[in-house]
Amino acid sequence: MLAELHIRDFAIISEINISFSPGFNAFTGETGAGKSIIIDALDLVLGGRASPDMVRTGASSSLIQAMFVLEGDVLREVSELLESNGLDPSEELIITREISSSGRSSARINGSLVPVTLLRQLGENLVDITGQSEHLVLLRPSAQRDVLDHYAGATDLRSEVSQLYNEIRQVQSELDALVSGQREAERRADMLRYQIEEISSADLQPGEDEELLKRRNLLANAEKLAQLADNAYQSLYSSSTSAIDQLQQAQSLLEELVRFDNSLSSNLDMISEAVVAVEEASLSIRRYRDSIEFDPGMLEVVEERLDLINRLKRKYGATIEEILQYRDSAEAELSDIQNSDEKIRKLETQLENLRQQLAQKAKALSSIRSKAAKDLGRKIEQELKDLLMTNAQIEIKVGYKQPSDYSISIDGTEVGIDQTGADDIELLVSPNPGEPLKPIAKVASGGEISRIMLAIRTVLSAADNTPTLVFDEVDVGIGGRSGRIVGEKLAGLASNHQVIAITHLAQVAAYADTHFKITKVIQDNLTTTRVDKLDREGIRHELAAMLGGMPVTDRSLQSADELIDLAKRSRRLSLAS
């Protein structure tokens, strides 16, 4: 349950601290005193949307802190959620939300910074807020569907339907893209085949272009190279004044000298080595000269090959390696295109299987809803009888959607479907005898909608383990006679839940276990809110003021006492039964 709520510099609230009690906690006060602001603060600390406008004028930030005391299933569920987010579980949970005037906000759980999304998850386990806007929300079929699914315990099955639906739409989108792209894919395939053939027929080899460039250089300069090589050969070996003849003559002279003076033997060795080196170089140069090709036809072949390689480079890559990589990629893409027919067949099979699963799940969900709708309708009618709508009739109409852009077949019938299933759901009401059942938005008054909302919450609470139920002016549009019944209902809910209600009716507030009065105070030209927990005498005067206005009279006090006594007797009778 909610044990304490601390609010500082929020809207017109300067600073308040509220200690709640188990059972029924009622808040009363004049219009504009800040009753609903307290609910807004509670919503914010449970992950609601923050805005810098919420910060009190002149303050740098707002702070809202709520302390919850947990037990039973709620303690277990919250502990699992905390542990999954790396936080230590505890029977006391302190949630803090701070908003700066610049718009930045922070959230903490037991002192540890957490994302706001975690607060929202926790809030679903801790508090159920029924605000004034929910009366209008109830007019929407989507909200009526949520109520029915919650009552039917069908939320998990509905999630499965939603998951299947989204998966089908994804597969359908992929299939549509493949089918619509087949013609373009065929054109692409023709181009890829041409490119692959063009590259493959060239039979390129890595490094081939570099070798061809070298060979082209030799062929293009063959005559010059041959002439140069021949001149070098003649200079070294074959002319009358060749280097080899000169060296051999020098060698003979040194041999003669060494016979007389061997100090020149090392010089002779060098000359002898030079003779051998020149002879070997001469033979190598002659072989090179003789190997040079004078073949214009081969030069043309090399030029054509280089031209082919350069054309392929301009199309497919800067190097032969890149060209070959492009061919490999093109072959892989062509393979994918050629396999698209098989892929389409697989997707069609997958789609059909998913559609069958969706049809089965949607049919099961529809069956659960139809059965629960009758039971829920009867229970709401019974609650409305207690709320003085004795002759009201309720029907929750469940029927298949009309075929639409996306439909499935259920038992041979084409029905529309979306993430919520295949059903249209509408809450029909006949408030008075003789009136036909019509959508609630067309026939119910504000007070009737409030009572229907309370009836639904009362029915749902039996299967709801949310510890704290908050009602923000659920008695809007309701008079004093009906207000007493609303008070009884809220007191009944308080036997299994902590109930917090903002009310403008003394007939409702009289049933509270704890009564808080909210007052608007002006200090230093600033408006602020004050919250007081009333004792018995304070409760008498507040109820008297609510009944007869100010100033409080003996007669209004007597009426207040009668209300208090009536509420006590009613609660004793309720407990006895």
List the one residue out of 27, 34, 35, 110 whose CA is nearest residue 68: 110
Q: What is the percent of the chain where pLDDT is above 70?
A: 95
Q: What is the percent of the chain where pLDDT is above 90?
A: 37
Alpha helices in 292-339 (DSSP H): 296-316, 320-338
Q: What is the pLDDT of residue 167?
A: 94
Tokens of 267: 């010089």
Across 258-279, average pLDDT: 87
Across 345-360, average pLDDT: 92
Least confident window among 85-89, 194-198, 468-472: 468-472
Across 142-148, average pLDDT: 84
Q: What is the pLDDT of residue 445?
A: 64
User: In degrees rounded to 5, what are phi and psi of residue 113?
Assistant: -65, 135
Indicate whether 5 pLDDT > 90.
Answer: yes
Which is higher by pLDDT, 103 or 509? 509
Tokens of 505: 């009716």
State the residue for tokens 């072959």.
331
Most confident of the following: 300-304, 371-375, 409-413, 546-550: 371-375
Q: What is the pLDDT of residue 435?
A: 84
Across 220-231, average pLDDT: 77
Indicate whether 34 pLDDT > 80.
Answer: no
List the one residue out of 151, 29, 126 whose CA is nearest residue 473: 29
Least confident window among 34-38, 197-201, 448-452: 448-452
- How far apart CA 514 and CA 23 sit, in angstroms, is 8
- pLDDT per residue as tens digits for the range 490-531: 998 888 889 999 888 999 999 999 999 998 888 777 778 889
Q: Say if residue 436 is preceded by a cis peptide, omega within 30 of 0.
A: no
Q: What is the pLDDT of residue 375?
A: 92
Q: What is the pLDDT of residue 166?
A: 94
Largest CA distance in the chain: 162
Cβ-proximal residues to 232 (8 Å cutoff; 6+ apart), any chain? 285
Indicate whether 305 pLDDT > 70.
Answer: yes
